[in-house]
Amino acid sequence: MDTSAADTRAGTIRIEQFPAGLEDGRPDARTMGWFEAVRAGFHDGAPQPGHVGAYVAAYQADRRVLWGAYDDGARPGAWGPDIPVATYGSLANTMNVGGGRLVPTHQITAVTVRPTHRRRGLLRTMITTDLEQAAGRGFAVAALTASEATIYGRFGFGAAAFTRRVEVDVRERFALRAAPFGTMELVDPASMLELAPRIFAGFHGRTTGSLDRQFSYAQVASGRWQSEKPEPNPDLRVAVHFRPDGEPGGYVAYKFAGWHSEPHTMKVVDLVAASEASYRELWRYLGSIDLVQRIVWSAAPADDPLPWALSDPRSYRVTAEEDALWLRILDPVAALEARRFEQDGSLAFAVRDPLGLAVGRFRLDAAGGQARVERLDASAAVDLTLDVDVLGSLYLGGARGRTLAGAGRLEGDDAAVGRLDRLFALASAPYCITHF
């Protein structure tokens, strides 16, 4: 996709959409300029052509669309007009919305605006155009991971799934209460090119809130790429859990923080388990590594079973919590009819949407795990009124209506809020370990 300069404008700035590209085997000038702007926006060093070439192949596999906002005004000494003053990107993958139901989801990434060009409506122009296009292509939900929590609410995104950063003391007191299950094996990281997607598919199918992963994840798990650049990672180790039937059920990729770390620390790079039993065994393995006193992981689930599995739960410590996934409902009817409902019931509600994409009044009737949603007349009575970002936070059960009502984020009486919570509750909290 490539829009001409005349198609989309924000003031005097032209905005283009295009795929990452190569020219004679090297990144083309437009792609190099885009990466230059993105890396500046996230305070990274200048891009290397060899690295960008690897990313181009990955972005093409992901079918990413890149956006650049260009200022053609000539200013002596300034970056040239081939480097955008604002960037944006999008791709699509499936999201588990409960009960193993996988829904195509529009994902937003690489959002930057140069400090010299703020307050000109560049982000608003790109994100509103993109969301309108995504809705027009039939996406019911959009998603992003937010570097700043104050930006995306005004565009209708609400925090929907959360993770924890945890530290686990694995000295003498570390032990699990449950009996061992299956076997653990240290593997050649290269084998993860095939195993990582296969194991993740099991996790994805059972985990509400999970987003399928882009090309780079298998590269990192295999040690072919580091987390921050597409170069080999010689420090990476990978262990795989095999069930008693011989099938792989989980893996953990990790690296030592160095002998200078006190206490001696192992960092989890990626941990994926297709079952609770595999999850326990990955931790049993981590706790058995010699000469290590602490395990650090930044993507533990909000309702982590690990402290309940430990003989000494006090060896588990939460050091931070993060909103890992933000959702934006584009089509309330399609989005709500797609997700699983574990309770039967009915609710009428009104949605406010500053962009007008999801605005309206609706009635939801859930029975047997499935919902039927109909659009109501503008004058119809409703039980609740809420903004579209609140609906995004409620969508996967990651936030409770009573909490949001107490925060002044939705309007309705106690009985209606209680009915909302019963209807939207799921057996487990949403959990997303895919960043994009």
pLDDT tens by residue, 89-123? 999 999 999 999 999 999 999 999 999 999 899 99
Q: What is the mean pLDDT of residues 23-27?
A: 93
Residues 74 and 124 both lie in one domain:
yes
Going by pLDDT thresholds of 50, 70 and 90, the confidence category of residue 5 is very low
SS (H, E, C) the chain: CCCCCCCCEECCEEEEEECCCEECCEECHHHHHHHHHHHHHCCCCCCCHHHHHHHHHHHHHHCCEEEEEECCCCCCCCCCCCCCCEEEEEEEEEEECCCCCEEEEEEEEEEEECHHHCCCCHHHHHHHHHHHHHHHCCCCEEEECCCCCCCCHHHCCEEEEEEEEEEEECCCCCCECCCCCCEEEEECHHHHHHHHHHHHHHHHHHCCCCECCCCHHHHHHCCCCCCCCCCCCCCCEEEEEECCCCCEEEEEEEEECCCCCCCCEEEEEEEEECCHHHHHHHHHHHHCCCCCCEEEEEEEECCCCHHHHECCHHHEEEEEEEEEEEEEECCHHHHHHHCCCCCCEEEEEEEECCCCCCCEEEEEEEECCEEEEEEECCCCCCCEEEEHHHHHHHCCCCCCHHHHHHCCCEECCHHHHHHHHHHHCCCCCCCCCCCC
Which pLDDT tens digit goes with each residue over 181-191? Answer: 999 999 999 99
What local confidence, expressed as pLDDT, does residue 86 receive?
97
> Nearest to residue 70, comparing CAs of 108, 109, 126?
126
Please say whether the beta carbons of 254 and 266 come within 8 A: yes
396: domain CATH number is: 3.30.1050.10
What local confidence, expressed as pLDDT, does residue 131 receive?
98
Going by pLDDT thresholds of 50, 70 and 90, the confidence category of residue 72 is confident
Q: What is the dihedral of CA 165, 171, 177, 182, to 10 degrees?
A: 80
Please say whether the beta carbons of 3 and 64 come within 8 A: no
Annotated binding site for acetyl-CoA: which residue ranges? Answer: 111-113, 119-124, 147-148
Identify whether 206 is part of a domain: yes
Residues 96 and 68 both lie in one domain:
yes
**Residue 57: pLDDT above 80?**
yes
**Residue 9: pLDDT above 60?**
no
Residues 226 and 289 both lie in one domain:
yes
Identify whether 237 is part of a domain: yes
Identify whether 157 is part of a domain: no
Q: What is the mean pLDDT of residues 45-63?
A: 96
Residues 82 and 51 both lie in one domain:
yes
Residues 366 and 297 both lie in one domain:
no
Question: What is the set of active-site residues?
Answer: 152, 436
**Residue 174: pLDDT above 60?**
yes
Which pLDDT tens digit goes with each residue over 289-298? Answer: 999 999 999 9
The packing angle between helices 29-41 and 49-62, to 10°, is 100
Instruction: Indicate the residue among 301, 322, 343 that finishes a domain.
Output: 322
Going by pLDDT thresholds of 50, 70 and 90, the confidence category of residue 173 is confident
Which pLDDT tens digit goes with each residue over 383-412? Answer: 999 999 999 999 999 999 999 999 999 999
Q: How many domains does the chain have?
A: 3
86: domain CATH number is: 3.40.630.30
Going by pLDDT thresholds of 50, 70 and 90, the confidence category of residue 7 is very low
User: Amino acid identity, residue 93?
Assistant: N
Which pLDDT tens digit goes with each residue over 332-351? Answer: 999 999 999 999 999 999 99
Which pLDDT tens digit goes with each residue over 223-260? Answer: 999 999 999 999 999 999 999 999 999 999 999 999 99
Annotated binding site: which residue ranges? Answer: 111-113, 119-124, 147-148
What local confidence, expressed as pLDDT, does residue 81 receive?
87
Identify whether 158 is part of a domain: no
Q: What is the mean pLDDT of residues 154-170?
A: 98
Residues 45 and 108 both lie in one domain:
yes
Locate 70 and state its tokens: 């260009």
* Structural domain for 44, as ranges: 9-144
**Residue 3: pLDDT above 70?**
no
**Residue 73: pLDDT above 90?**
no
**Residue 287: pLDDT above 80?**
yes
Identify whether 155 is part of a domain: no
Instruction: Indicate the residue among 111, 144, 177 that finishes a domain.
Output: 144
Identify whether 137 is part of a domain: yes
Instruction: Indicate the residue among 322, 345, 362 that finishes a domain.
Output: 322
Residues 172 and 311 both lie in one domain:
yes
What local confidence, expressed as pLDDT, does residue 11 receive?
53
**Residue 6: pLDDT above 70?**
no
Identify whether 85 is part of a domain: yes
